[in-house]
């Protein structure tokens, strides 16, 4: 067994560094940009233009929260090549597995993250908005300088959870042929006929990454909580 672990470990770590971790980091980054945009649009005023944009973002959040991540990956990678748009995509929407993975993971993380950020912004007291407005700050200044820094502290634990979930969910990328850690473990198991050892080994490496992220979360929470009651 030790021989198997010794042989498989470098390949698993290499797959993690090349695919699992980059997919998680890039998707989380784009997911958070999308989440913030979605949350802000959904909290914006109700003029006619924003009502339409709001409707689009609401539909997006509903769609990605109501369908399984695995199905979303299959649609993006195996389904979209059959969607032809004359003039734009005459031969269907074809993407590399990596790009399809990033796209779906970003959209999925963005949909869940937007609800977390929206709730965090709503939890900041009205008095904070009013105090900032009363000194003549503009709406965007109030948002960036006063509200979002406080909302960030509140949303840190749930968003950290989302990131940890995302790291584990990257294993689903195996289903669209991305050679990330789980896909590599499957390939090795198919060669050495040791599925139990291989899947336990890959689970162990996911657990290590997630544990390290939990420590990082605790550290960040400590830093961002420096202004709460001591």
User: What is the contact surface with another protein in residues (CB under 8 A)?
Assistant: 125, 127-128, 130-138, 141, 145-146, 149-150, 153, 226-230
Nearer to another protein, 55 or 149 (CB): 149
Nearer to another protein, 12 or 117 (CB): 117
Closest to 97 measured CA to CA, from 72, 110, 71, 78: 78
Nearer to another protein, 128 or 214 (CB): 128
Alpha-carbon span 79 to 81, nearest angstrom:
6
Q: How far is the CB of 226 from another protein (least distance, A)?
A: 7
Looking up tokens 């109030």, which residue turns up? 142
Asked whether the beta carbons of 178 and 78 are under 8 A apart, the reply is no
Nearer to another protein, 194 or 224 (CB): 224
Q: How far is the CB of 136 from another protein (least distance, A)?
A: 4
CA atoms within 13 A on the CB side of 71: 6
SS3 85: strand
Q: How many CB atoms lie within 10 A of CB 203?
A: 15
Q: How far is the CB of 137 from another protein (least distance, A)?
A: 6
Q: How far is the CB of 154 from another protein (least distance, A)?
A: 11
Q: How far is the CB of 228 from another protein (least distance, A)?
A: 6
Torsion of CA 31, 36, 37, 43, to 10 degrees: 140
CB-based contacts of 89: which residues, under 8 Å, 6+ apart? Answer: 83
Q: How far is the CB of 221 from another protein (least distance, A)?
A: 14
Nearer to another protein, 106 or 153 (CB): 153
Nearer to another protein, 141 or 175 (CB): 141
For 164-214, the three-class secondary structure string (H helix, E strand, C coil) is HHHHHHHHHHHHHCCCCHHHHHHHHHHHHCCHHHHHHHHHHHHHHHHHHHH
């Amino acid at each position: 067994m030790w021989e198997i672990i010794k042989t498989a470990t470098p390949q698993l770590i290499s797959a993690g560094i090349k695919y699992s971790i980059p997919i998680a980091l890039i998707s989380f980054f784009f997911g958070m940009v999308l989440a913030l945009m979605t949350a802000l649009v959904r909290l914006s005023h109700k003029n006619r233009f924003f009502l339409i944009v709001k409707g689009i973002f609401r539909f997006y959040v509903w769609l990605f929260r109501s369908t399984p991540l695995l199905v979303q990956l299959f649609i993006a990678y195996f389904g979209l090549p059959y969607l032809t748009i004359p003039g734009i995509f005459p031969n269907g929407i074809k993407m590399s597995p990596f790009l399809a993975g990033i796209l779906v993971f970003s959209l999925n993380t963005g949909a869940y993250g937007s609800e977390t950020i929206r709730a965090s912004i709503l939890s900041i007291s009205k008095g904070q908005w009013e105090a900032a407005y009363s000194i003549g700050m503009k709406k965007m200044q109030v948002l960036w300088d006063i509200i979002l820094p406080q909302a960030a502290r509140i949303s840190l634990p749930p968003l950290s959870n989302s990131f940890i979930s995302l790291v584990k969910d990257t294993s689903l990328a195996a289903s669209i042929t991305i050679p990330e850690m789980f896909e590599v473990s499957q390939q090795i198991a198919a060669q050495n006929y040791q599925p139990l050892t291989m899947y336990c080994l890959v689970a162990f490496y996911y657990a290590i990454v997630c544990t390290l992220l939990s420590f990082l979360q605790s550290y960040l929470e400590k830093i961002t909580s420096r202004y709460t009651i001591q």
